[in-house]
């Protein structure tokens, strides 16, 4: 028996680690910035009761809060990213708490502003249209007025702002529990070799050609969460109750409405997606059977979903992945490509070594005044290349939006996740098209490409809408005053996956039922379904660029640069995609069916 060696943070190659020290060389420097930002709060004094005195006063307020907001949000984002890539960083953990307190204090200080602006809507609209120094904020003002029925008094708004810090502790509790305290038994392959299961190393075992290794990895990972299921459920129930409280306080009919209304996203977008997904479940049932036959097994199980079909999966190093992604992005223009290449290599935007202390998954950080950093665990596979392309799509969106928009149109608070996930998936669409052409005469590579595409569809076009169906049911129960317990969560999750697996995949209901506890996404209500919308819109926009349609590139760049300066449906129209109907979602399922056929044809 031998045990696979794992990489610890201290041994990660320098080029694989984010360049955070360029922003804050030490935690003392971070603390100094914290003190400097606190000192800036005094500049907010004297505005209360005066905002609507003149356009000049309001413009001064908008400029000042734009400047302070950037620095407040940056402090929190830096601390969270540092803890994400290194869960043992005690300085980062301390900083997260300090940043949360700063953020809550700042939000409370400025909480009077919106109610005060809304006291004279007519004047606000007039200034936004006619005053040059305020025209940039016309959309912001319009959105405030549109949501005025959900605005509360200055005193209540201040109280709600102060609640953000204690409410945020639920999210942090989940993060600490699953990334620091939760331990898993090793995966064991058919030769009795042992492979440590960590959040950052799980995928290597799930993607192994050794079925015993896959099986033990999936089972031991699930069992780890099952051992903490009651604690995780209690934490999630607290989160659900918080969201229901906020929705009711602001007069929304549901948490779903509270989530989508600020971006003017119609509720029909959610229901269209879910209905279309359920209607296309037979496509997934067919895929499970195709994969079963490709693997040569009598029954396919959940731990086989990530199994490689090809016998010789390509090895793709990080530098090679960057070069292929940049080549794929050539239609977007040299300026776009050079930003991507420099960020991924020279500027070290990406923390990519799969060290033990790193959190599971991947993400791109979206904040002003610092690079759009990415964390991921790159394992020299096509799957890792695709993940890198996805996150670089987020980062280029961040880069271009921050270069062209003020803070109020930049952060995720002003930009719907459907738009954000379009930018990320767009990169994957172009990367796959490029690599299919580059490697069209290499059957092994083509199989690997189809597998990678299906892996991406599985995560974002199967798991995420399944989680969204789970969310809708549990939030509906909470809103109706029905009980929520660990067993109820598990039962709902089992039922949703059972529909998705059909009769072609042999499920393990108990372990599948704990899936809800493994996703941080559920602490961002109804984020999950927006991945599926993003994939659908990305294919629509990407196909226009690849076809060389007139103005397709320019329109898509305008979509990225706009940030949140328009409503979501208008942004999609800017990119040339109509997301008001289920048609783009159905088209994405057709793309998925094409990948399934490639696998069938290549493997006979």
Instruction: Give the per-residue SS3 of 142-206.
Output: HHHHHCHHHCCCHHHHHHHHHHHHHHHHHHHHHHHHHHHHCCCCCEECCCCCEECCCCCCHHHHH
The answer as to whether 25 is a domain residue is: yes
Q: Does residue 104 carry a pLDDT above 70?
A: yes
Classify each residue of 309-320 as buried b or exposed e, where b means 16 or more C-beta atoms within 10 Å of its C-beta.
bbeebbebebee
Task: Pick 167 or 396 by higher pLDDT.
Answer: 396
The answer as to whether 310 is a domain residue is: no
Give the pLDDT band of residue 163 (cuts 50, 70, 90): confident
Contacts with 133 (C-beta within 8 Å, 6 or more apart), sequence order = 55, 56, 59
pLDDT per position as a tens digit, 23-39: 999 999 999 999 999 99
| Across 31-40, 305-314, 550-559, least confident range | 305-314
Q: Does residue 324 carry a pLDDT above 80?
A: yes
- Answer yes or no: do 218 and 161 share one domain: no
Classify each residue of 252-281 as buried b or exposed e, where b means 16 or more C-beta atoms within 10 Å of its C-beta.
bebbbbbbbbbbbbeeebbebbbebbeebe
- Answer yes or no: do 217 and 349 share one domain: no
- Give me the pLDDT at residue 110, please: 95
Average pLDDT, the chain: 93
Torsion of CA 489, 495, 498, 502, to 10 degrees: -160
- Answer yes or no: do 197 and 128 share one domain: no
- Give me the pLDDT at residue 368, please: 74
- Give me the pLDDT at residue 417, please: 86
Strand order in the sheet with 350-351: 350-351, 374-375, 363-364
Question: d(Cα 129, Cα 121) in Å, to the nearest integer?
Answer: 12
In angstroms, the Cα distances linking 39 to 36, 94, 293 are 5, 20, 65
- Answer yes or no: do 213 and 106 share one domain: no
Structure tokens at 225: 């969460």
The answer as to whether 466 is a domain residue is: no
Residues in the chain: 604
Contacts with 326 (C-beta within 8 Å, 6 or more apart), sequence order = 337, 340, 341, 344
DSSP for residue 461 = I
- Answer yes or no: do 132 and 223 share one domain: no
- Give me the pLDDT at residue 3, please: 56
Q: Does residue 517 carry a pLDDT above 90?
A: yes
- Answer yes or no: do 91 and 196 share one domain: no
- Answer yes or no: do 418 and 566 share one domain: yes
Q: SS3 of 353, please? A: coil
Domain limits for position 64: 12-165
| Across 82-91, 160-169, 226-235, least confident range | 160-169
Rounded to 5 degrees, what are φ and ψ at 24? -130, 100
Q: Averaged over 465-470, what is the pLDDT?
A: 98
Q: Quick one: three-class SS letters along 393-431?
A: HHHHHHHHHHHHCCHHHCCCCCCCHHHHHHHHHHHHHHH
Partners of residue 364 on adjacent β-strands: 374
Q: Averaged over 568-587, what is the pLDDT?
A: 93
- Give me the pLDDT at residue 5, please: 62
The answer as to whether 283 is a domain residue is: no
Q: Does residue 240 carry a pLDDT above 70?
A: yes
- Answer yes or no: do 109 and 211 share one domain: no
Question: d(Cα 279, Cα 275) in Å, to the nearest integer?
Answer: 6
Contact (CB, 8 A) for 410 and 564? yes
The answer as to whether 563 is a domain residue is: yes
- Give me the pLDDT at residue 580, please: 87
The answer as to whether 388 is a domain residue is: yes
- DSSP letters, 275-337, are HHHHHTHHHHHHHHHHHHHHHT-SSB-GGGTT---SSSPPP--HHHHHHHHHHHTGGG-HHHH
- Give me the pLDDT at residue 151, please: 83
Q: Does residue 99 carry a pLDDT above 70?
A: yes
pLDDT per position as a tens digit, 32-65: 999 999 999 999 999 999 999 999 999 999 999 9
Question: d(Cα 456, Cα 477) in Å, to the nearest integer?
Answer: 31
Question: d(Cα 454, Cα 594) in Å, to the nearest integer?
Answer: 10
Question: d(Cα 243, Cα 313) in Å, to the nearest integer?
Answer: 44
Contact (CB, 8 A) for 76 and 350? no
| Across 130-144, 241-255, 397-411, least confident range | 397-411
- Give me the pLDDT at residue 2, please: 56
Structure tokens at 169: 């502790």
Q: Does residue 271 carry a pLDDT above 70?
A: yes
- Give me the pLDDT at residue 581, please: 87
The enclosing domain of 62 has a CATH number of 1.20.140.70
- Give me the pLDDT at residue 61, please: 97
Q: Does residue 360 carry a pLDDT above 90?
A: no
The enclosing domain of 210 has a CATH number of 1.10.287.830
- Give me the pLDDT at residue 75, please: 96
The answer as to whether 594 is a domain residue is: no
Strands 374-375 and 350-351: parallel
Q: How many CA atoms lie within 13 A of 506 on its CB side?
A: 9
Q: Which of 459, 448, 419 has its CA nearest to residue 558?
A: 419
- Answer yes or no: do 331 and 399 share one domain: yes
Q: Averaged over 466-487, what is the pLDDT?
A: 98
Q: SS3 of 363, please? A: strand
pLDDT cut 90: percent of the chain above it: 85
- Answer yes or no: do 113 and 198 share one domain: no
In angstroms, the Cα distances linking 594 to 278, 287, 469, 527 are 19, 11, 26, 27
- Give me the pLDDT at residue 591, please: 93
- Give me the pLDDT at residue 7, please: 79
Question: d(Cα 146, Cα 562) in Å, to the nearest integer?
Answer: 20
Say how many domains are in the chain: 3
The answer as to whether 379 is a domain residue is: yes
Contact (CB, 8 A) for 191 and 291? no
- Answer yes or no: do 135 and 199 share one domain: no
Q: Which of 598, 604, 596, 602 has its CA nearest to residue 290?
A: 596
- Give me the pLDDT at residue 367, please: 75
| Across 208-212, 356-360, 382-386, least confident range | 356-360
pLDDT per position as a tens digit, 192-230: 999 999 887 898 899 899 999 999 999 999 999 999 999
- Answer yes or no: do 143 and 196 share one domain: no
């Amino acid at each position: 028996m031998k045990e696979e060696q794992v990489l610890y943070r201290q041994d990660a190659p320098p080029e694989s680690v984010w360049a955070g020290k360029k922003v804050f060389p030490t935690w003392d420097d971070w603390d100094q910035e914290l003190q400097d930002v606190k000192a800036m709060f005094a500049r907010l004094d004297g505005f209360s009761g005066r905002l609507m005195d003149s356009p000049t006063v309001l413009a001064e307020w908008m400029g000042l809060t734009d400047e302070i907001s950037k620095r407040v949000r940056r402090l929190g984002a830096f601390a969270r990213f540092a803890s994400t890539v290194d869960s043992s960083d005690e300085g980062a953990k301390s900083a997260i708490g300090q940043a949360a307190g700063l953020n809550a204090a700042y939000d409370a200080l400025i909480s009077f502003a919106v109610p005060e602006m809304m006291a004279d809507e007519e004047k606000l609209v007039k200034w936004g249209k006619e005053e040059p120094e305020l025209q940039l904020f016309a959309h912001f003002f319009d959105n405030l007025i549109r949501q005025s029925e959900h605005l509360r008094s200055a005193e209540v708004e201040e109280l709600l702002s102060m609640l953000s810090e204690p409410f945020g502790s639920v999210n942090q509790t989940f993060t600490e529990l699953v990334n620091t305290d939760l331990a898993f038994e090793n995966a064991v392959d058919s030769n009795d070799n042992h492979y440590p299961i960590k959040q950052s190393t799980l995928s290597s075992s799930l993607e192994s050609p050794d079925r015993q290794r896959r099986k033990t990895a999936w089972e031991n990972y699930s069992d780890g969460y099952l051992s903490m299921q009651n604690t995780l459920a209690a934490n999630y129930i607290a989160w659900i109750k918080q969201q229901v409280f906020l929705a009711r306080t602001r007069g929304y009919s549901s948490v779903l409405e509270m989530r989508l209304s600020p971006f003017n996203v119609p509720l029909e977008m959610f229901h269209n997606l879910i209905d279309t997904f359920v209607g296309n479940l037979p496509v997934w049932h067919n895929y499970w059977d195709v994969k079963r036959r490709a693997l040569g097994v009598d029954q396919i199980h959940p731990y086989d979903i990530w199994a490689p079909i090809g016998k010789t999966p390509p090895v793709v190093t990080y530098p090679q992945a960057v070069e292929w992604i940049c080549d794929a992005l050539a239609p977007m223009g040299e300026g776009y490509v050079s930003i991507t290449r420099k960020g991924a290599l020279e500027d070290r935007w990406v923390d990519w070594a799969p060290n033990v202390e790193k959190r599971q998954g991947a993400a791109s950080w979206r904040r002003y005044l610092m690079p759009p950093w990415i964390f991921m665990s790159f394992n020299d596979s096509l799957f890792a290349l695709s993940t890198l392309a996805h996150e670089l799509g987020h980062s280029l969106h961040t880069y271009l939006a921050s270069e062209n928009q003020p803070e109020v149109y930049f952060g995720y608070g002003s930009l719907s996740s459907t738009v954000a996930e379009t930018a990320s998936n767009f990169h994957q669409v172009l990367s796959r098209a490029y690599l299919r052409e580059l490697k069209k005469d290499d059957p092994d590579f083509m199989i690997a490409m189809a597998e990678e595409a299906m892996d991406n569809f599985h995560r974002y076009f199967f798991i995420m809408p399944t989680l969204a169906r789970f969310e809708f049911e549990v939030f509906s129960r909470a809103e109706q005053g029905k009980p929520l317990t660990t067993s109820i969560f598990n039962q709902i999750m089992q039922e949703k996956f059972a529909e998705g697996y059909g009769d072609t995949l042999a499920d393990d209901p108990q372990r599948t039922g704990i899936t809800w506890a493994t996703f941080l996404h559920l602490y961002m209500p109804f984020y999950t379904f927006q991945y599926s919308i993003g994939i659908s819109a990305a294919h629509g926009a990407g196909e226009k660029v690849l076809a060389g349609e007139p103005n397709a590139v320019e329109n898509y760049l305008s979509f990225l640069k706009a940030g949140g300066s328009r409503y979501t449906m208008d942004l999609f129209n800017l990119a040339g995609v109509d997301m008001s109907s289920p048609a783009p979602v159905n088209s994405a399922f057709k793309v998925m069916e094409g990948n399934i056929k490639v696998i069938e044809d290549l493997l006979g």
